[in-house]
């Protein structure tokens, strides 16, 4: 596991916790929940840049490159889609969708680490 995984681990779990509590409290998505998901997206963008730098420096993945980059692209699209959903549907249920992003990003990052190493 590398530092990128641990960044997503912390940010993803904190974001999921914030969004889950907001959903349980029956609150509509707000700046705090949306910004917590934006932090997950920022972490994933840092992971993307780090991955590009590592490949450019000559590091090789143990697994298939297409699978790694597919996970990377999908993980980057999840927060965007969830925030879009939460803007369209301003109910408490959107917070549960936002909460799923952090955990899903964490699982996808763990899989990307498996592919890399």
Inter-axis angle of helices 31-56 and 3-24, to 10 degrees? 160
pLDDT digits (tens, 9 = 90+) for 4-51: 899 999 999 999 999 999 999 999 999 999 999 999 999 999 999 999
Q: What is the largest CA-CA distance in the chain?
A: 49
User: What one-character-per-residue DSSP string does 20-84 give?
Assistant: HHHHHTTPPP-HHHHHHHHHHHHHHHHHHHHHHHHHHTT---SS-HHHHHHHHHHHHHHHHHHHH
Residue corresponding to tokens 């974001």: 15
- Note the pLDDT of residue 117: 86
pTM above 0.85, yes or no: yes
Between CA 101 and CA 77 the distance in angstroms is: 10
pLDDT greater than 90 at residue 2: no
Average pLDDT over the chain, rounded to whole?
A: 94
- Note the pLDDT of residue 4: 87
pLDDT band at 1 (very low <50, low <70, confident <90, very high): low
């Amino acid at each position: 596991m590398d530092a990128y995984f641990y960044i997503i681990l912390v940010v993803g779990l904190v974001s999921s916790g914030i969004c889950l509590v907001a959903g349980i409290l029956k609150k509509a998505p707000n700046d705090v929940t949306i910004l917590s998901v934006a932090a997950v997206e920022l972490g994933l963008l840092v992971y993307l840049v780090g991955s590009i730098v590592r490949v450019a420096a000559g590091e090789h993945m143990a697994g298939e490159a297409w699978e790694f980059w597919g996970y990377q692209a999908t993980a980057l699209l999840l927060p965007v889609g969830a925030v879009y959903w939460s803007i369209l549907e301003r109910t408490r249920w959107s917070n549960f969708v936002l909460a799923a992003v952090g955990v899903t990003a964490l699982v996808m990052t763990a899989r990307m680490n498996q592919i890399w190493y």
